[in-house]
Amino acid sequence: MTTQLDQTFAALADPTRRAILAMLLEDDMAVTDVAEPFEMSLAAISKHLGVLTASGLISQEKRGRVKWCKLEPDALREASVWMQAFGQMDAIDLDAFESFLSQQLKE
C-alpha cells in the first residue's frame, strides 16, 4: 500500500473522523461548527482535522479569521481502486458512502 492509501485508511478508521466527514457531506463548515457536536476540546478536533487534511479527505481554508473545512470526495478514488482489485468492492458510490456515514453517526 502506498503512503497515501495508508493515510486514507487510517483517517477512516476513527469514528470521530468518519462523523466529521458525514457532516461535511452537507456543506463546508467552520472548524468551530465542526467541533460543536463533539464532547472534546477544540484542540482534539483540530488534531482530527489535521489527520483528515493530511490524508487529503478534506481541505482547510482560512477566510478572514475563520478556518473552513471542505470535503474532498475525489480523495477516496485511490482507495476505491485498491479495493476493487480484490473483486469484492464496486466503485465507491458517494450516495451510498453518505448513507454509510449517516448511519455511523446514529450509532
pLDDT in tens, 82-100: 777 776 555 667 777 777 7
pLDDT in tens, 21-65: 999 998 999 999 999 999 999 999 999 999 999 999 999 999 999
Integer Cα distance of 84 and 39 in angstroms: 36
Is the separation of the CB atoms in 56 and 9 below 8 Å?
A: no
The domain ranges of the chain are: 3-106
Class of domain 3-106: mainly alpha
